[in-house]
């Protein structure tokens, strides 16, 4: 299995199994690979039978550049080992 396909499968696994809506892998300071699950009005439909994942390979955006700056300041070597994931905010109704 090629190194690139391992990155794509790890990102898809983070979304499908882990439940995240966005997963980012930092390859180096100028290259990131992202996987994003398609949402509707900011929510993931419960009764959906298909899952659409969009992969993006390219330069880091503003938020990712800020993370890279913090990682370099902390002395983190590239490629960053961990995948950065984002989850939806869940609001629990009925709790005081």
pLDDT at 47: 74
DSSP H/E element including 11: helix 3-16
Establish if 91 belongs to a structural domain.
no
Which residue's entry shows tokens 């913090």? 70
Residue 84 has, within 13 A of its CA and on its CB side, a CA count of 14
Establish if 19 belongs to a structural domain.
yes
- Predicted model pTM: 0.81
Establish if 92 belongs to a structural domain.
no
Establish if 14 belongs to a structural domain.
yes
Q: Which domain holds residue 26?
A: 3-86
pLDDT per residue as tens digits for the range 19-78: 888 999 999 889 999 999 888 877 777 777 788 899 999 999 999 999 999 999 999 888
Is a pLDDT exceeding 70 seen at residue 1? Answer: no
Establish if 26 belongs to a structural domain.
yes
Establish if 93 belongs to a structural domain.
no
Residue 28 has, within 13 A of its CA and on its CB side, a CA count of 1
- What percent of the chain has a predicted confidence (pLDDT) above 90? 44
Domains of the chain: total = 1
pLDDT per residue as tens digits for the range 68-91: 999 999 998 888 888 989 888 776
Are 32 and 24 in contact by the 8 Å Cβ rule? The answer is: yes
CA 49 to chain CA centroid, nearest Å: 21
Establish if 24 belongs to a structural domain.
yes
Establish if 96 belongs to a structural domain.
no
Higher pLDDT, 9 or 89: 9
């Amino acid at each position: 299995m090629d190194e690139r396909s391992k990155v794509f499968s790890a990102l898809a696994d983070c979304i499908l199994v882990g439940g995240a809506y966005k997963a980012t892998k930092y390859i180096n300071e100028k290259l990131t690979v992202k996987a994003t699950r398609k949402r509707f009005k900011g929510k993931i439909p419960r009764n959906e039978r298909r899952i659409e994942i969009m992969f993006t390979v390219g330069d880091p955006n503003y938020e990712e550049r800020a993370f890279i700056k913090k990682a370099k300041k902390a002395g983190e070597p590239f490629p960053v080992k961990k995948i950065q994931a984002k989850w939806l905010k869940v609001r629990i109704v009925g709790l005081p």
